[in-house]
Structure formats: C-alpha cells, structure tokens
Amino acid sequence: MMLHIPDVLSREEVNGLRARLAQAEWEDGRLTAGAQSGSVKNNLQIAPGSALGRELSTFLLRKLGTNPLFNSAVLPLRLVPPLFNRYDEGMFFGAHVDNALRPIPGSGQRVRTDVSSTLFLSEPEEYDGGELVLYGPSEEKAVRLPAGHMIVYPTCALHAVTPVTRGSRIGAFFWSQSTIRSQEHRAILFDLDQSIQALTQREGPKSSEVLRLTNVYHNLLRSWAEL
C-alpha cells in the first residue's frame, strides 16, 4: 500500500528544520548503502551518528509518534531513526531495493524493513527532476510532494530517484518494522480503522456498529500481530 500523508510538519517546522540542515556537514550517501544500492547511489547525507543528525532524527520521531495517519497505516513496532539526504544538480539514485534488515544505530537491534517513508523538505518549485519513482508490476508512479508531506510504501518495492537537473532536493527517509508483517493485512486494518473513525464521527463512539467494528479490528490485530 502506498499512502500520501500530508502535513507531517507545519510550514514553521519545515523552515526550522531547513535552517538547522543549512548548518550540517554532508557526506557521501554511499556510506549507508548496501552493495547493490551503493553502485547506483549519488547523493549526500548527514552522518547518522552526528549530534545534529541525532537531534533532528529525534524531533521527527516525536512528530511521527503523534501522527494518526502514519500510525494507522504502518502500525510501527520499531523504526530506524530518520536519516537526511540531499540531491544537488546531477545527483540521482538509480533503481534499487532497500535492505531487508537494517540496524538501529547504538542499540544492537535490527529492524525488518516492512515500510519505507520519504519526507519531502524542499518545495517542488525549488528543484527540477528528483522524483521518487516506484516501480509496480504494471505501472510506474512518480512522486513529488510539497515540503512537510510524506509518502509511505512497501520496502519491497523497486524504486529510484531521478536525476536533479536544477536546484537541490532535501528530504528525510527511514524504515519501519510493522507489527503486521503482511502488506495485505496492513491494508485491511488501515481501511477498517479509517472506516471506524468516519463512522464514529457520524454515529458517536457509543454506537453499537462502532463498537462491533472496533471489536473486529482488535480481534484481527490480535490474530495478525507479531511482537
């Protein structure tokens, strides 16, 4: 399931993050890539272990923890702390698949990468090119979102970032291990949760139908969850 999540960050929060990123020291993005993806990767990143990288990553984790759409869609169990990247003119990331397992720095834990997320921090008019392209079995989807908006998609999807031909594209990205391993089950639970929320708005939380569907949701979650 691919989902556009708007307004993860407000305009003020984007501006504040961008101001901090302007002070960052950027390094070759291939330092965090696997063997296959490193061969087609040409961008810059903030070192994950840097003080600024940890500060901004923690800020984003707090924002994600309170985002209802992200939590409904992803049902996150563990997250790899967000990383920050920049594509200047001529930079790109060719077609690749993300690693199935990623370490959580400093924890000794690894995460099964079920869901990938890209948060756009540059406005579309600031750069040309730089689309996130997702390759499906029958079509390609090019994604280019306003600053502060995020796209989530299955990590198993082949994807790329097209060459930037003007300006710079700045963003954040990370991976989540979901409590629900199956993409199909996550999609069912998301649709059910969104329907329950809409019905609650119309009928109220004490509605018998709301209570019945909520019970179904949690019974499915109980059956499918892996903790």
Which residues are annotated binding-site positions for Fe cation?
96, 98, 159
Q: Of the candidates 181, 130, 129, which has an alpha carbon nearest to the alpha carbon of residue 155?
A: 181
- What residue numbers does the annotated binding site cover? 96, 98, 159, 169
For 45-80, letters b (16+ CB in 10 Å) and e give bbbbeeeebbebbebbeebbeebebbebbbbbbbbb
- Residue numbering of the annotated binding site for 2-oxoglutarate: 169
Report how far residue 146's alpha carbon sits from residue 4's, in angstroms, rounded to the nearest whole number: 11
Contact 159, 45 (CB under 8 A): no
Quick one: which of 227, 198, 223, 225 has its CA closest to 213?
A: 198
Collapsing DSSP states into helix, strand and coil, what is residue 53?
helix
C-alpha span between 69 and 67 (Å, rounded): 6
Residues 223 and 217: their CA atoms lie apart, in Å, by: 10
